[in-house]
Structure 1
Amino acid sequence: MTDDTPSSGPNENVTLPGLLRIDHVGVAVPDLDEAIAFYTATFGLCCVHRETNEEQGVQEAMLAVGDGAGPRLQLLAPARPDSAIAKFLDRSGPGLQQLAYTVADVEAAADALRARGLRLLYDAPKRGTAGSRINFVHPKDAGGVLVELVEPAEGGTPVG
């Protein structure tokens, strides 16, 4: 189509997921400290948040570009050998792992995507960075891309 009119089809009356912005791009790395050092020294990024998410089995850092107002770069390293990030690194090596979007309501976004026939990895949201609530669209349903939905913690500054 040449204009901004949504295409009609079987999903034309289905609610959109309510994406607000690109939240972050996730990169799987084997060593978090080395990756932070590389991105800060090489590209001038600034580490604005760091934590270990025991439930997900991941050590993570959020890096900001410039004034930090835009999307972040999330570095993800395994906290244990059975984590999803460890499995990703074993299968694919270091590199781009996910694209995340900010949403106002992760459950509503997940329901809208399920109504469009997409599979989500979790039945209910899980805890993400800085207390956010997250879910993921299965990469086989999103053109090979792992899509993360991020609802920032209430009252918190969205860090990714």
Structure 2
Amino acid sequence: MSASTERGIPRIPGVRHADHVGLTVPDLEEAVAFFVKALGAEELYRSTRGPDAEFMPENFAVPKDASLTLAMLRMPPNLNVELFEWDTSDRRTEHPRHSDAGGHHLCFVVDDVDEAVAVLRGIPGVRVLGDRKEVAGDSPRVAGNRWTYFLTPWGLLMEIVDRSRVADPPPLVGPADWLTAAPENTRKDR
């Protein structure tokens, strides 16, 4: 019996893989431009919804006057990002801090953290948080990990990491796993 089952949390049947990450941004055009230009994303489509006094509260847990515009982005090779811009009478504008409930960040693997930080420092509105860090003996399993956090121009916390110097990394999902995780009918090696 798994720990989750022991705590009364049943396994959801049929879960296959993550499809996308959804993030709310204050200005959709600014966020899409950053993801496309700085991170290499491709915009796939846009959509709008609301206001709808019944649908919006029931399906999104937002006020009945809320409306949204969204853009779905593809971040090759493995991530879809859905960006939302909401309009509602009681919209909050402050981001949760990393230490607050609901705090979050999005992390990208890079080839060289120092090169990436140099480029980030040149993007107007980006705030790099401190200098590049390297994990040492406090976390021996990932010693050698090189990383840095930064804030986008609108305040989204992001991280860049280079794991190439980690001697014996934990089994984090990466490119070697993508093909083997694909269902048999979608694999291209057949």
TM-score, L = length of structure 2: 0.37
Q: Which structure's CA Rg is the greater one?
A: 2
TM-score w.r.t. structure 1 length?
A: 0.43
Task: Using CA pairs under 8 Å that are at least 6 residues apart, name the structure with larger relative contact order, 1 or 2.
Answer: 1
Greater strand share, structure number: 1
